């Protein structure tokens, strides 16, 4: 694998961890992992926010 493959793998693993709500403390020094982690956390927050808005809007016209 070349360096781009390693970067994409680190990002993907970080994103998966972020969505799942966990963090690999040993990998937080890897910038690609951290970017993926934050992206995954943001995606999870967005999904939770949309679900809360939909719940709040149920039954309202």
37-53 per-position pLDDT tens digit? 999 999 999 999 999 99
Domain segments of the chain as ranges: 3-57
**pLDDT confidence of residue 36:** 98
Mean pLDDT score, 12-25? 97
Reduced to 3 states (helix: H, G, I; strand: E, B; else coil), residue 29 is coil
Distance CA 31, CA 10 (A): 9
Distance CA 30, CA 27 (A): 6
pTM of the model: 0.86
Distance CA 57, CA 38 (A): 28
**pLDDT confidence of residue 1:** 79
């Amino acid at each position: 694998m070349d360096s781009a493959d390693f970067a994409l793998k680190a990002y993907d693993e970080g994103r998966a961890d972020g969505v799942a709500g966990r963090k690999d403390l040993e990998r937080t020094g890897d910038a690609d992992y951290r970017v993926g982690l934050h992206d995954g956390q943001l995606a999870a927050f967005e999904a939770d926010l949309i679900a809360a808005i939909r719940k709040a809007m149920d039954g309202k016209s």
